[in-house]
Amino acid sequence: MMKLKKVAKATTATAVSVLAVKKGLDFYNGQYQTLKSVSRLDNNIYMMDYSFDYCLDNLLTKGVKNTAELLAYVGDATLFGARFLKLGTGSFACSTFDAFTENGDHLFGRNFDYKKAPCMIVWTHPENAYKSIAVADCNFMLYGNVNKPLSSLNRLQALLAPYCCMDGMNEKGLAIGILELKSKPTNQNSGKTDISTTVLIRAVLDKCATVDEAVELFKSFDVHDAFFCCYHYQITDALGKSVIIEYVNNEMRLFYPQKCDDSARAYQCAANFFLAEDGDNTKAFGYDRAEKMNKKLTESGTVLNEEQAMELLGELQLNYQHETYPWRVITLWSAVYNSNTLTAKIAAGLDYNNVYSFSVTEPCKVIRQ
């Protein structure tokens, strides 16, 4: 408790001189402005403009295998050695797909499904890397549906936000989303630098402009899945490319889209089962959602506007009592990213009557329609 009190005091203006010695005035001001930026849009959505260095480059050089190592690193990099930061764990279900508008804009649609909690929309604009908008699950920052990220104490957990994002898009139009696979976690050990799940998502958003660059980034690390599950990823870009990356027995597999007919653009969709024929699908689920996505995208010739893409996500929503744990699984958020306009439409908490529009380049602002 004493360590927690000291850190809390260190985030106030009374400790400027101490922080200036340790990190410099620019760092302190960025950290203060970041925490100050946390705001509530509605009961389901918080927003944050992350305006100081979360030290990704050093982390990618050092490597990180698991959540404990990530928390230790973030504590050292942002809170002067604090060790009270924690991340939640748990299984989640998701759906992703890509489509095209009539004028050729590339869309990436994504549902994130887990136990009820707000989400946090996170803008980052690091030096020598790409700006991005991404969405973090407040469950993983231990806010859940009870503890809100606006109190002075809870707000400190928000410093984890760049490493808690489950999907997002950067200023180059590259978008990524993660989906759970109920299988043994990936745990590569080939001698490359280690990287854990959410750090990998952050690295793709910060460093990659195209699907091809993202694939090369994945290949350059030994991937270690967090939260005791296996995952696959769909990645899209402004050039109209898409790929789904998954791992079978620690070996990387790449899946590219197939055209649904001769006149349509190619598309992909994913849910919570392996695309690889030799993947472990003994506990797979989400086939019904994949069938709905395939049907809609085939019938439309892969052409959807943003509103139609959000309607499809609404049709894929989940809302049921978990078979093991004492909570309901719901669609925490639905997001439609436009890789060409660099905008995102987001509905949260199953509230499809309130769809907000945001831009990569305008932190914490709702775009009026």
DSSP per-residue letters across 40-67: EEETTEEEEEE-S---HHHHHHH---SH
Q: What is the pLDDT of residue 93?
A: 84
State which residues form the domain around 213: 2-359
CA distances (Å), 264 to each of 57, 99, 195, 259, in order?
40, 10, 37, 6
| CATH code for the domain in which residue 272 is found | 3.60.60.10
State how far the alpha carbon of 162 is from the alpha carbons of 48, 50, 81, 214, 310, in Å.
10, 8, 18, 18, 25
pLDDT recorded at residue 17: 37
Tokens for 191, please give them: 């001698």
Give the distance, in angstroms, between the CA of residue 99 and the centroid of all CA atoms in the same chain: 20
Instruction: Please measure the distance between the N-terminal and C-terminal CA atoms of the chain and give it in whole angstroms.
Output: 47
**Residue 366 domain flag:** no
Segments in the chain below pLDDT 70? 1-25, 27, 79-91, 142-147, 151-154, 259-263, 369
Burial of 258 (0-12, 13-18, 19+ CB in 10 A): exposed
Chain centre to alpha carbon of residue 357:
17
Q: Measure the CA–CA gap between 53 and 145, rounded to whole angstroms.
A: 28
Supply the DSSP symbol for 150: T
Residue 64 lies in a domain: yes
Burial class of residue 307 (count of CB atoms within 10 Å of its CB; 0-12, 13-18, 19+): exposed
Question: What is the domain count for the chain?
Answer: 1
pLDDT at residue 261, rounded to an integer: 67
- Asked if the structure places residue 219 within a domain, the reply is yes
| Distance (Å, whole) CA 184 – CA 178 | 16
Residue 189 domain-assigned? yes
3-state SS, residue 291: helix
**3-class SS at 6?**
helix
Give domain status of residue 365, yes or no.
no
How far apart, in whole angstroms, are the C-alpha atoms of residue 8 and residue 230?
A: 36
**Residue listed under structure tokens 């309607």:** 311
Which candidate, 61, 60, 81, places its Cα nearest to that of 72? Answer: 81
Q: Give the Cα separation of 108 and 44 in Å (integer).
A: 21
Residue 368 forms part of a structural domain: no
Helix (H) or strand (E) holding 203: helix 197-207
pLDDT tens, position by position, 72-113: 888 787 765 555 566 665 567 899 999 999 999 999 999 999
Q: Where are the beta strands (DSSP E) in 268-367?
A: 269-270, 319-321, 328-338, 343-348, 356-359
Q: For residue 367, tell me if it sits in a domain.
A: no
Are residues 53 and 30 in contact, defined by beta-carbon separation less than 8 angstroms?
A: yes
- pLDDT score at 81: 52
Q: 92, 126, 124: which is closest to 110 by C-alpha?
A: 92
Q: How far is CA 155 from the centre of its chain?
A: 19
pLDDT, residue 88, reads 60
Q: Residue 10: its pLDDT value, please?
A: 37
- The answer to whether residue 62 is domain-embedded is yes
83: tokens are 């060790």
The pLDDT, as a whole number, for residue 5 is 33
pLDDT of residue 226: 85
The pTM of this model reads 0.90
